[in-house]
Structure 1
């Protein structure tokens, strides 16, 4: 099942992208769906059908298209389409609709985003009522708004019942020709942070650019190929108006996200969190996904070279050496004992060493149970399941919570979050 979001029709010129030269003019119907997929249905003549049969490959045949939307002022451009049937093509690139008239200099961009369930912090007048549906983020020279769509309540109910992604909000931002690219990048960054907050895929699937007179000059439909919705428990309690957790979260996390996004691969960590929180997968897989995120963080931190990781087993060796000499009733200076421990220590740090250093660097609390996740991970990898005497749910929650605490610390978050546990309690962080 798919939910139709937008529908266009008109005349298009379809050009074969590889092999023999082929161009076909056909009337088309474009269907853009709420999960980010798009299809084009062509009205092909029998002659065109025979030509396509001759040119089609065993797998997919790729075309590009330019055309005109019927009864409108818009051109349409699509860089890549793939045939799935003789008269049906799957769109595999962005779809651009551009006005035939004038040039875009400055205006407003409205970016449709999926799966965001939230309460606003500010009221907006709607149908003679004041509705709490907007979040304002103030930057140096502009204000960015996150705003619920008009039929938000209906759409939220629908996606929860159907598990099909849909647009629930728009990110609205002033834009000029000169700063359009940087604003789009900022919005993409914000959607990653929102994805973490709600533990769902929050993605931009359309961008509408409005001129100052209110006309749409330019539209980009972003084909994401089956964006999913999951009834996961969110990470942050942003579905409550007071206090405005969403605004506070974004205000503090955006600068830190930009600081560590690439060096610590924060986008990967975020999607480890989202996938590990899916209610549809086994506990062993949830645990392994979470622990892979923890390992990724530790490895990325090590690659930054911000600290010396101790040689493996030094502390353990110190204890063993001290016990040996005590048993023999031989006194040994502490400095000599430490030197012996270093000499016989394995020269490479183990994962626990990496975890201790990386977690300490960001003041992330941890204990022996967190360190023991390493051995649990090894058990699952080798046996395919938790050992019977251990509580799988409790261990999975511990791995999930450690990964969540890592991201909250890196993003400099202060406030309530929803701890993975039976009952999913809200607790203060840090």
Structure 2
């Protein structure tokens, strides 16, 4: 493959941004379907030389390639250690171990804002280098260390650093809840995580999926979370919090925390938990709610739907995977017709067959699709010049929700321009 990695070849995978920068996207599966192989360690020499000659590239996506420790060391030595403008680096599922992480962490990454190393088996040794990476990157705001084979001991060294850093988005899903002293202790993880949320004043988005949290662990977490004044996104998907956990979260939501997005999908929540959630939604600021793949029946779903008319209008609602009966179907159809919900932002579409209403899946939730960098069409598309529009933070209408893998809501209307005067807060932000 070495003879194929040329300057012209790499230029074909560069996307131009409206601010003059470029994004280099080299997904492993895309390359494999095009040329029959993925990037290997020996290809890092050519890639590093290309990046050094094109300082306008500020974002590099190398997910699902066979880079390994050798390739990571070459990339760090030939490119990352030199002066660069790199702001976003994606090394998801690249077979990197602790040695490769050590080389990356010791590099010159003063401009790095986003780093994704999820899916690499770093283990306990690699955790120390993740902590070093956080310390060496003063501008880092987004860190993804999910599925990196971290246990209770190894994650503590990272959490201690996060308590004092300016990190805004943290994804630490699938932490192994065991240690040298105990085989299984999720409560310790919940308590350590709560201590971070209590002291850190910049963390606004937290993802802790697949960590085996149950209702009692949520109680420990919320005892510390009550003191957090900045957390806006909480992702507890694919845990075991059940009705007890969602009931505790509901009591917390009644205190009107700054939380804007809540994901409790695949948590074995039933009607009791759904009703408890419906009692607190009118008091909350929730705009994004994901309760997919639970065990909620028609009665519980109806209770949730009836609580959505509140000062903070629900913007994105995902409920597929539960029992959506006739009553719920009528509620959803009426709410879409009255503009309480937008069909483009709910994953259920109501169809009428022989006078009866039936729910159908509507592909509105693309979170996992974007998180795992899945190819849009499953096969390579025609290579052409792609230009990404980078909008100004003050573009109108004012953004109500902005997450890395969820599109900005509401979308920018270029005819409105920018905010030139201070806009008075609406009641739902107070």
Same fold flag (TM > 0.5)? no
The answer to which structure, 1 or 2, has the higher relative contact order (CA under 8 A, 6+ apart) is: 1
When Rg is computed on C-alpha atoms for both structures, the one with the higher figure is 1
Decide which structure has greater strand share.
Answer: 1
